[in-house]
Amino acid sequence: MLAGSLLSWAVFAQQPVLVSPQTADSLLRNVPAIQLLDVRTAGEFASGHLRNARNLDVRDPEFEKKLAQLDPKRPLVVYCLVGGRSAKAAETLAKAGFTLVYDMQGGFAKWSGSGMPIEEGATPPKGGMTLDEFTRLTAAGKPVLVDFYAKWCAPCQKMLPTVKKLEKEMASQVRIITLDYDQNRQLAQQLGIDSIPAFLMYKDGKVHWKTMGMVEEKEFRTQIKAVQ
């Protein structure tokens, strides 16, 4: 019923429809001939993806040409890791004449973080930190500020200069570590990280502060002082 009502409403929509992972799951289960598009890189796709998804990297210069592989008349769900790239892809799809485009908010991170089924890829991420290693890291010594980021994430890259500045200026008060989300996806899921950039402040192994998105330098300093 939910999928049907969304489908009927979207016929008149001029823009992509934002849906939650749960609604996307309902659409994928109940809407006939629906298409599923993963617009992350081939490497990300290979480390795990939604079942039956087709992979077309939205940052590929040939992305628009490759859309010819899809049927613009059939409904389509598009996703990336956290939502930024899928929003761009959904807009491109709509302009290209796709009539029913659903943009899954929160992307693969929100989907997998909610415990929903995924298809493990042929090349799972390597070199990531285990939960035991992370627990030991955050349990001993001075407070620890953890930054989950990704190289392709524009807000993450925008935050890095501030993070590096604080790492240098406040080294005596806090240990700051940056963790690549793509290499530490399993750890991020275990910690409930479903959006990046994400920041967690630990003292004696306990989380004292957790936030996601852009953060002002002043707020970082306030949180660091609060755990002294």
Catalytic annotation, residues: 153, 156
CA-CA-CA-CA torsion sign (163, 169, 174, 176): positive
**Cβ neighbours for 108, distance < 8 A, ≥ 6 positions apart:** 38, 40, 44, 48, 49, 50, 79, 80, 81, 82, 118
Residue 13: burial class (beta carbons within 10 Å; 0-12, 13-18, 19+): middle
CB 220 within 8 A of CB 155: no
Q: Which among 144, 127, 103 is positioned nearest to 181, based on CA atoms?
A: 127
